[in-house]
Amino acid sequence: AMEDVCAKFVSQKISKTRWRPLPAAALQPPDLFATGSWDNEDNRISIWSVGDLGNVGLNGEYQGEPQLLCDIRHNGDVMDMQFLDQERIVVASSTGTVTIFRHHQNNQTLSANQRWEKAHCHVDQDTSCGGAACTGVICNNPEIVTVGEDGRINLFRADQKDAVRSIDNADSSTLHAVTFLRTNEILTVNSIGQLKIWDLRQQRNEPSQIFSLTGDRVPLHCVDRHPNQQHIVATGGQDGMLSIWDIRQGTMPVSLLNAHEAEMWEVHFHPSNPDHLFTCSEDGSLWHWDTSTDTSEKPSFLHQGGRSTTYFSHNAINQSVVSAWLSNDPTKDRMEITNLIPNQTLSVNSLDVLGPCLVYGTDAEAIYVNRQLFA
């Protein structure tokens, strides 16, 4: 069912794609998303409307493709991006600066609302500060946490000029990504395969727990927490493996799953349907991992269009992952994995899922929207 997917060529390499969050009571699917670009002369933050799916224009042309509503120049590569609320987007730059952009819906413009210059930087001998990439940002309005190449963790509050808290040498290696575990706890992943939990209420600048991948110190690039079970965490890294962790027990992953053939750039649990998980990679693939109960009644879209679909039986995979990722419920006896883009060649850098909709962006200078993930 590749025809469910709309492509838009945007003449810039897309590093991040994010759905605008829906208001709490909203029943409709998401209608707006933001993108950020990298490795272009002129990088941009752009806001898109998903377009009018299925409407045919006067000349018979298909109007389903995303429409650009507004954009604004961004200094440096967009390394990460998160919506703070319906109108504000926090953007992490390779220059080390963190900016909040506001989307003005009345006249469809974007403006820089607030900026923390060189939130991340390398201090050299002369104590001048050269920007270090801000690699990750996570929001829990009004709080914003950023991590960077300099191993620093910052806690900002929207509308406050100075950082609420900075842990300067939180890590001696590059921090690649961060997520909230709870209101006061964050989890970071770094370039030597470690996962660390930080309690922001504690004044000491030490992690409260450290987990690590066995032996190899494979850099971890991305992390996501299960939306309902806060102890379940998924990470992905340079070797393309998907790791599932239970942070209540042990210091090693519960399961390591062979996945992509190159770096995994992002991993996302579906926010309202977390038996489904999505990963994307430098190898040009985007995988949908489905652990929901009955694979025999799966919608047929998983089997169309020459997509590769893999079934794992219990003995092929660490059994503890197969139910909603951890429990050993014997009725859940296989996981289905589908590559949603079988013949893409260039890196898929970012994806986001919300409701029935998936958006992803690539180095092929294109954004793709699938509005019928579970059709």
Q: State mean pLDDT over 189-206.
A: 93
Span 361-373, pLDDT tens digits: 999 999 999 988 8
Q: Nearest 5°: CA angle at 296, between 294 and 297?
A: 75
Span 80-113, pLDDT tens digits: 999 999 999 999 999 999 999 999 999 999 999 9
Instruction: Give the confidence band of 305 by pLDDT, cuts at 50, 70, 90.
Output: very low
Comparing 116-125, 307-316, 333-342, 343-352, the range with the smallest average pLDDT is 307-316
- Bridge-based pairing of strands 255-257 and 185-190 is unpaired
Please give the distance of CA 374 from its chain centroid, rounded to a whole number: 20
263, 240 contact by CB (below 8 A): yes
Cβ neighbours around 3 below 10 Å, total: 9
Instruction: Give the confidence band of 254 by pLDDT, cuts at 50, 70, 90.
Output: confident
pLDDT at 64 over 80: no
Predicted pLDDT of residue 369: 94
Cα separations in angstroms, 118 against 36, 90, 152, 154, 232 = 19, 14, 11, 11, 33
This prediction has a pTM of 0.87
Q: Rounded CA gap, 326 and 337, in Å?
A: 17
77, 88 contact by CB (below 8 A): no
Q: Rounded CA gap, 35 and 16, in Å?
A: 5
pLDDT at 333 over 60: no
For the chain, domains (ranges, CATH) are 5-292+322-370 (2.130.10.10)
pLDDT at 26 over 60: yes
Instruction: Give the confidence band of 191 by pLDDT, cuts at 50, 70, 90.
Output: very high
- Nearest C-alpha neighbor of 187 from the set 160, 128, 240, 147: 147
Q: What is the DSSP string of 341-368?
A: -TT--S-EEEEEEETTEEEEEETTSEEE
Instruction: Give the confidence band of 312 by pLDDT, cuts at 50, 70, 90.
Output: very low
Predicted pLDDT of residue 270: 96
Instruction: Give the confidence band of 181 by pLDDT, cuts at 50, 70, 90.
Output: very high
Predicted pLDDT of residue 319: 37
Q: State mean pLDDT over 50-70.
A: 68
pLDDT at 356 over 70: yes
Comparing 58-72, 144-158, 201-215, the range with the smallest average pLDDT is 58-72
pLDDT at 309 over 50: no
As a whole number of Å, the end-to-end CA separation of the chain is 10
- Alpha-carbon Rg for the chain, nearest whole angstrom, is 20
For 301, residues 6+ apart whose C-beta sits below 8 A from its C-beta are 1, 4, 372, 375
Percent of the chain with pLDDT over 70: 84
Predicted pLDDT of residue 28: 86
262, 288 contact by CB (below 8 A): no
Predicted pLDDT of residue 324: 53
Q: State mean pLDDT over 172-191.
A: 96
Instruction: Give the confidence band of 256 by pLDDT, cuts at 50, 70, 90.
Output: confident
